[in-house]
Structure 1
Amino acid sequence: MERLFQWLATAPILHRAGLLLGLVGGIASYYWFFPLAKANRDIEESKKSVEISMLSVEAQRRKLQQTEKAKMELKDMDKKSKELDKRIPGSVDMSELVGELDQMADDIRINSIVPMDDDTDSYDSVVIKPIVFKIEGRFHSICRFLYKMFQMGRLMDVGDITMAFNQVAVKAKVQDVEKKNILAAEFTARIYYAPTSSTIAALKAAKKK
């Protein structure tokens, strides 16, 4: 340090001025660039933090979308399950069925509804309940009634259909055209239902007795 002071005392003025400028520049650079570098580092760290936050938000958004999608799928599955339960119920409630049919029979007359023995042999997990219907009405009214039956939402088929003019009106030689056009129809509706395996086993055992 002493040599530096001696050199400054004897050095030319230009050399001393250059050294002084260098010292001042170095000090200024230190106090200028150090905070700037620190600020740049802080900015970069902030950018990284923002990017990480954005990635986290995006991940949460995707997770939320997947959750919403899963909820919609579960809702759709529940709806289809209820529709299937209605089409193929666990049992056939005759009182409920008769009530529904009675509401549909606005222009026909239902003479009898006779449930037959369950068919447990056609399918392993599904039982068929045959029901014999005897009704009276005009041809178009009977066809409309059958159409309404298929719109009930139950899985069923209809067969063994027979139609004939009402023999009472024919024998009595009724002159009323409306009464003469009344048909007596008989058919078998086979309604499908899916009871538990134990119920099916019990039904099969009962048939063997």
Structure 2
Amino acid sequence: MMLIHVILFLQLLHTVICFTPSPRNSVAAVLVNSTIWFFGGCIPGSTAGSWVSSNSLFSLDVSRSWETSSPPWTDHSSDLTDPSLVYTRCQSTIQLDADGVTLWVFGGQSDVTSENLTNRSPAVQYNTGAHVWSNVTMPSNPVVLGLHAHNAVRNSQGVIFYFGGQSDLTTGFNGSLQNDNVIKLSTGPGMVNWNVLPSGNGWNGRYLGTVTLV
């Protein structure tokens, strides 16, 4: 009987061990149904005051209330079986595909001292149902540069619009370029399409701005 009690205690102990993400800034987040998905961000480095970019993915279930001491976090880091597929980044954006399942991560600022972004796609996908990452082949025409400190919004048809931000060495661009265009991504099975639209008589691109669909 004592052995049974010990086994049950160990099993219960295992179930209450919770995942808590490390503190970070410039993380990307999106609400999908009753789950908030978080990607990347800058986490504290090994020396005081330093920060390093991350490629971690985790989620928070907001379908019910919880104790503030133990939020229902879920770590999805083990889904990234090939770390070279998703480079570390902060100041990226994450939006939902028209299929309601796939997440689009676009852009982000990486550590130029540790990441070689040559020929790396600024966009990757994550399937929340299959828990699988996949690469995105970017078009040669139009040329879509990676951005950081940009913003994004999605309409009800699954079309994602990217505004503002900047391209530089931390995004794989040899130089520094402010984005004054509007990047349009049409999503959905078999209908992914990128377009770069001039802002026309609108405002020039903002750095760390916000955008809201009305």
TM-score (norm 1): 0.26
Structure with bigger strand share is 2
Instruction: Indicate the structure whose relative CO is greater, using CA pairs within 8 Å and at least 6 residues apart.
Output: 1
Q: Which has the larger radius of gyration?
A: 1
TM-score (norm 2): 0.25
